[in-house]
Amino acid sequence: MDKELFEAALAARRNAYAPYSKFAVGAAVRTAAGNIFTGCNVENASYGLSCCAERCAIFAAVGAGEREFAALCVVADTKEPVSPCGACRQVMTEFKIPEIILANTNGDVKIYTPQELLPYGFTL
Ligand code: THU
């Protein structure tokens, strides 16, 4: 398990903007080049515009020119490691992130592949 990635996700969680749900989430992706990009959930008064931490992290990496990934870690204050939403699973599938580390703030982790999280996901 990539401990540095977990710590980066935990730190990013502190930036969560979640005044509506009060549910703070942090995420971090490690690129194939070894760089880490982070994201947090960013909500909006128009709820449907909110973006999850995982997609914010992946999009930050892609925006910086990186499209190859080694792993993603997502963390929230949940009893079990946090379970990503369907939209984020589809985006993880798009970028073929090989290792998805689900975590909680206690440090409990579960590791999956995108295929395990989203069987028969949409591809072109
Ligand atoms: N959320 C994430 O950022 N990632 C997840 O894996 C689950 C849900 C956010 C979206 C929203 O801001 C809040 O958590 C409650 O759904």
Q: What is the pLDDT of residues 11-30, one digit of tens each?
A: 999 999 999 999 999 999 99
- Testing ligand 1's pocket by substitution, the residue of 13, 14, 25, 118 carrying the most ligand atoms inside 8 A of its CB is 25
Our mutation pick for probing the ligand 1 site, out of 22, 23, 29, 72, counting the most ligand atoms within 8 A of Cβ, is 23
**With DSSP H G I counted as helix, E B as strand and the rest as coil, what are the percentages for the chain, rounded to 5?**
30, 25, 45
pLDDT digits (tens, 9 = 90+) for 32-64: 999 999 999 999 999 999 999 999 999 999 999
